[in-house]
Amino acid sequence: MTDSAPNPSRNAPIRYGEAALAVACGVLLAAVLQNAWGLLRHAKAASWVPALAAAAAAALGLALSVTLRRHLRRGLTDGRVVACAALALALWLAVGACFVEEGAHAPPPEAPAGREAPRPEELNADAWPAPVLRTARILGLTDAYHAWPAYALFGFLGLTSLLAALRPRTRGLASLARRAAHLGVLLVLAGATLSQLAARRARVEGSREMSVTWNSGGPPPFDLRLDRLAVEPKAVEFRPRGARGEPQYLRAAPGAGREIGGVRFEIAEYLPNAVAEEEITEAPGAARTAPPLFQMEFLPKEGELFRRHYQPRDRRPVSGPYGVEIRHARAASRAEYERLLSAPRPWPEETLVVEKLGESRKPELIPLRPRKEKIGQEISHELLGALRLHVADWAPSGTARLGHFEPERAGRASLPALQIELRGSGEAPFWVVSTPRGDRERRHTVGTLPLELRRHRFRYWAAPEPPVAVRILEGPGEPRRLVLLTDPPKAHRFEEDDVVALGHAGLRLRLVRAWRSAVKRLIARPAGEGSRGRSAVLLRARGPFPDREAWLLAGDREGRKFGPWTARLLRQAPVPERTVAEVSVLDRTGAVLASGPVRYNRPLRTGAWRVYLRRASPPAAVLSIVRDPGLFLVYPGLALVALGVLALIPLSRRARAENAREGEA
């Protein structure tokens, strides 16, 4: 924008800078005018002083700058005068901001909860030595915005900017943008002036009935009644299901409750430090559509026993190298299962994934291209140690059952397969089978080494200790049983309380309980001493649906459904507070004209009036009630200023370049 040569004129006007300067200065100038207007109406002679001083100083400053510029052509340009005034004002306000504002205009200081607010004079006396404070008070720095230097400087800058804004400019798009900005400034000034002259505002404070007294004359048309003032921590958040709407909140405290949208919610129990547990019950009814579930107990040779719940398709690490996999045929029927298995599938390019359990390093990927010409290919890797994997054979189809493969034999299904041979350990070759769908997980164990086919990849786990893989089969046509994938794989029909020793791994496995069709429910229990848990609430709901209660744990992303609401417990830190004041607007007869909640940033609007929440410390609230007819001018005015100023950035550069070209011509 300013890359081209600058205007050599000493009195070149600031473009958008002046326009924007006029916004702020104009608003404050309007405040000066309003002050004068209020003084006229109330005839308080003593308060004429700052207004007169401001007007006089502004006029004097302007006259001086114009006159001196004429007589002192060298040095004193209007640019320097304006810049000096701006810097003087900046310095004045910067120093003034160091003091807590005192005087009639000072806003009431915030009081800490349960304590009385200290007075500004006391705060200043605590912070500054007495001589400094005394000097600051004499100079007017403790009320910097309302002291005569500020009035004078604001007035001077405002008038200068106005004159600059009204100065005729060049033609073209840049001029249009400039005019838009100027029009915006004028609108803002008009709106601010109108606001200051005609706005009616009152600040009311109280805990119940509030009688409104306006800052200017005239009887108040109504009173306010504070129906309820509450500080609601954002704890349990309720969001409407399937509809847009504001979330509602319920404090997470024992016994807390409220009615939301026709549903009564109560906190039945609150645990600040809890851990989650699954409670399992048999599914009710004859249909039993829920999946089966097994509770397995692992009894290591050393260390404590541990229990885990497994359902088909669950895959959880158990401890160290131990793993449990549950295979589940998701087909609806045996025919569907057969169809899926026999579906044709091209032979993929497989990848051998070599990974050491318990290490964070990335797995090593070794591409396998098991074409016929690749048969005999050896694969070695540092993680494999002394072992070598050898691609022994491959078969386009065959029969797979429990990890064994028989090529070209009629069976239940025909599958492509890859034979891998382990050399160096004396183990027999075994087959890795690629399933038609490719999304099931299979693990094969040879000796102490599990090899897994997972999403078309072979995974080799070089485990630090002898691992054991266990698979629980539950598919159509197969009885429920555990298959221990040791060497060779063994199937074992578990009865409850059966214990199976897994030999070399030193691990015993016990089936504690099996549910044919289980329903899991999340419950929370207090966490032990010193352990870090999460907060949890037991939420109970009564509404136009069967009574329901469920535990919510802090931080869970998925909410729980309660009729038309989805509830979740938000994290405890940081917990913002939501202050809400429910207010009724009453006419002179006591009839309710309007009522509703008022929150920070969300005033209650009723007709031309707005009720703002300024401060709240239960049980009292400070509210502002305002009717501002100037707002409808200020908003479009500022929008015009913004548009004009932003458009000027590229346009002014182009206009300057055109001017330069014209000048050269």
Partner 1 sequence: MNAAQVLAVAALALYLSGAISALAAAATRIKARQALRRLALGAAALGTAANLAALVLEGIDLGRFPAATGREVLALGALCVVLVEVARFLVLRPRPTLGPSLLLAALYLFGGAVARGTPHGARAVPEILGSGWFVPHLAVYLVGFAYLAQAGLGALLYPLVRRRGEEAAGRLARELRARACLGFPFLTLGLAIGALWAQDAWADYWGRGPGETWALVAWLVYAAYLRLALSSEREARRALPLLVAGFAALLFAWQGVKLLPSAGTDARHTHMRGAARR
Site for partner 1 in 532-571 (CB under 8 A): 570-571
120 binding partner 1? (CB under 8 A): yes
Binding mask 218-247 for partner 1 (x = CB under 8 A): ----------------x-------------
Measured from the CB atom, is 435 or 652 closer to partner 1?
652
Residues 397, 415 contacting (CB under 8 angstroms): yes
Told to check if 579 binds partner 1 by CB under 8 A, we report: yes
37/128 with CB nearer partner 1: 128
**Bridge partners, 584 (sequence order):** 225, 595
Map the footprint of partner 1 across residues 178-197, applying CB under 8 A: 192
Residue 9 binds partner 1 (CB under 8 A): yes
3 binds partner 1 (CB under 8 A): yes
Alpha-carbon dihedral angle through residues 63, 68, 71, 74, given to the nearest 10 degrees: -150
* CB nearer partner 1, residue 31 or residue 318: 31
Residue 623, helix vs strand vs coil: strand
Per-residue CA distances from 87 to 63, 127, 153, 292 (Å): 19, 26, 10, 78
Binding residue for partner 1 (CB under 8 A) from 45, 110, 115, 546? 110
Residue 12 engages partner 1 in binding (rule: CB under 8 A) = yes
Give the interface segment with partner 1, choosing from 61-69, 89-97, 366-374, 446-454 (CB under 8 A).
Answer: 89-97
Count of other CB atoms within 10 angstroms of residue 570: 20
Number of residues that bind partner 1 (CB under 8 A): 84
For partner 1, the closer CB: 158 or 323: 158
CB of 233 to partner 1, least distance (A): 10
Each as own residue / partner, the long-range contacts of residues 243-252 (CB below 8 Å, 24 or more positions apart, any chain) are 243/564, 248/565, 249/578, 252/535, 252/537, 252/569
Half-sphere exposure of 646 (CA within 13 A, CB side): 6
Q: Which is nearer to partner 1, 101 or 325 (CB)?
A: 101
190 Cα distance to chain centroid? 39
Region of 59-67, 122-130, 263-271, 490-498 interacting with partner 1 (CB under 8 A): 122-130
Q: How far is the CB of 153 from partner 1 (least distance, A)?
A: 9
Output the smallest distance, CB 75 to partner 1, in A: 12
List the x/- string, 144-163, binding to partner 1 by CB under 8 A.
Answer: xx------------------
Residue from 27, 180, 352, 507 in contact with partner 1 (CB under 8 A): 27
- For residue 58, the minimal CB distance to partner 1 (Å) is 16
- Dihedrals φ, ψ of 199, to 5°? -70, 145
User: DSSP readout, 457-485?
Assistant: EEEEE--SS---EEEEEE-TTS--EEEEE
Q: In what order do the strands lie in the sheet with 388-395?
A: 378-379, 388-395, 417-423, 430-433
The encoded tokens of residue 136 equal: 């600051």
Binder to partner 1 among 344, 576, 607, 663 (CB under 8 A)? 576
CA distance 118 to 108: 9
By CB under 8 A, name the one of 608, 649, 657, 660 that touches partner 1. 649
* Candidate residues 129, 601, 607, 663; the one interacting with partner 1 per rule CB under 8 A: 601
Within 139-222, strands assigned E span 200-206, 209-210
Cβ proximity to partner 1: between 344 and 574 the closer is 574
Is 603 a binder of partner 1 (CB under 8 A)? yes
Measuring CA to CA, which residue among 464, 460, 482, 486 is closest to residue 473? 482
Residue 608 as a binder of partner 1 (CB under 8 A): the answer is no
By beta-carbon proximity to partner 1, the closer residue of 106 and 280 is: 106
Does 87 bind partner 1 (CB under 8 A)? Our answer is yes
Helix (H, G, I), strand (E, B) or coil at 31: helix
Told to check if 210 binds partner 1 by CB under 8 A, we report: no
Any residues with CB less than 8 A from the CB of 663 and at least 6 apart, and which? none
- Mapping DSSP to helix (H, G, I), strand (E, B) and coil, where does residue 376 land? coil
β-strand partners of 538: 269, 551
Is residue 116 close enough to count as binding partner 1 by CB under 8 A? no
276 binds partner 1 (CB under 8 A): no
User: Of 347, 473, 341, 314, whose CA–CA distance to 411 is shortest?
Assistant: 341
Residues 6+ apart with CB under 8 A from 433: 400, 403, 405, 415, 417, 442, 453
Sole binder of partner 1 in the list 122, 336, 478, 577 (CB under 8 A) = 577
Q: How many CA atoms lie within 13 A of 320 on its CB side?
A: 13
Tell me the residue length of the chain: 665
The phi and psi torsions of 505 (rounded to 5 degrees) equal: -80, -15
Q: Contacting partner 1 (CB under 8 A), which of 60, 63, 83, 198? A: 83
Q: Kindly state whether residue 494 participates in binding partner 1, applying the rule CB under 8 A.
A: no
Q: Does 646 bind partner 1 (CB under 8 A)?
A: yes
Answer yes or no whether residue 35 interacts with partner 1 by CB under 8 A: no
Taking contact as CB under 8 A, which single stretch among the options 478-486, 502-510, 540-548, 609-617 is the one that binds partner 1? 609-617
How far is the first Cα of the chain from the last one, in angstroms, to the nearest whole number?
22
Answer yes or no whether residue 68 interacts with partner 1 by CB under 8 A: no
State yes or no: residue 86 binds partner 1 (CB under 8 A): yes
Radius of gyration for the alpha carbons in the chain, expressed in angstroms and rounded: 40
Cβ closest to partner 1, residue 487 vs residue 556: 556
Three-state secondary structure call for residue 410: coil
**612 touches partner 1 by CB under 8 A:** yes
Residues 378-437 that bind partner 1 (CB under 8 A): none
**Least distance to partner 1, CB of residue 13, Å:** 8
